[in-house]
Copies of this chain bind each other. A is one copy, B any other.
Amino acid sequence: MGKIRVIQYGVGPIGAGMVRLMLSKPAIQIVGAIDVDPKKVGRDLGTVANAGRELGVKISSDANAVLRAGADVVVHTTLSHLKSVSGQLTDCLNAGLHVVSTCEELSYPFRKHPELSQQLDEVAREHKVVLLGTGVNPGFVLDKLILTLAAACQNVTHASGHRIVNASQRRQPLQAKIGSGMTVEEFHAQVKAGVIKHHGLPESVGMVADGLGLEVAKIEEVIEPVIAKERVKTDYFDVPAGKVVGVRQVAHGFSAAGKVNVDLKLEMYLGAPDSVDTVSITGTPDLTLTVPGGTHGDLATAAITVNCIPALFEMRPGLRTSKDTPMCYFPGIA
């Protein structure tokens, strides 16, 4: 087998991380790059992605020209909403390419976008390629780990997941993004404006519910501020008691009768306890799994996406998710 020829679609911070990681995999050859940002178009991908060297691949805004020039896989990292990217994804599939995408709504799109999901599935199957939505969250911590653990259960009646991220140790943009230092009013305004929001929790609830056969007729999501009980100081913020140090986002999956069958909670705030991911299943037997220290968000997003590339060639064509993927590390053997 020759090298896997990959096109990077979207060269923002996430896409740049994918590029740097792919350069460590001898089995991958990056053959093209797409971005619409005029500051990036025409420049070398290696330069823009901070890869430390030029790659001889120019970033182009002409998606179809790049997609039709000969490749195997598209790594797609542009936007969070499926409607915004379905045209891009369809172009990739129509070019006969496998796609792995970090679009959060693609991680389990069947409930929110049933018709669009069906259309994308049909285009992928028509071209005998795989369209895979994945990532660390959604796509791994609060869904795939639950499904994997449940493989050891004879019966399952409830599932939950809880991700705590102590944001004190994280980079400045993340600390800002979760509302650090805001008043409660400012926080709620930012939530209302859609600025403070982790995308993908309802998608994770859907994947868990369907994977475990748990009835979920309604999914409710709540985003609330975590308030400093005392002053919290980091390298970037100095938050007095009473102001916001971060976010708590919860999604519940209810049965028609109102029973909570799936509940997922994501907490990211300054001064949180040690980061940890915990998933629990009620069933025969009850089982709990923890990742002490938590799964590193930035590293894992790129890792999971790139590690899924070999599986694209193994899976049944169509629209697939983490649920269908035999996740593993990609050693990068050529």
Contacts and interface: CB of A to CB of B under 8 A. Distances in A.
A139 to B, nearest CB: 10
A329 B212 contact: yes
A265 to B, nearest CB: 19
Given A152-B300, A300-B152, A304-B152, A327 B147 contact: yes
Protomer copies? 2
Contacts of A289: 289-291
Contacts of A291: 149, 287-289
A69 interface: no
Interface stretch (A58-66, A73-81, A234-242, A318-326): A318-326
A172 interface: no
Interface string A294-334: 01100110111011100000111000000111111101110
A59 to B, nearest CB: 23
A155 B299 CA distance: 10
A285 interface: yes
Contact of A140 (B152, B156, B333): B152
A256 interface: no
B299 A284 contact: yes
Given A314-B324, A328-B323, A329-B147, A303 B152 contact: yes
Contacts of A38: none
A9 B28 CA distance: 43
A158 interface: no
A195 interface: no
A328 B140 contact: no
Contact of A147 (B149, B152, B314, B328): B328
Interface of A: 21, 24, 136, 140, 144-145, 147-156, 211-214, 284-285, 287-293, 295-296, 299-300, 302-304, 306-308, 314-316, 323-329, 331-333
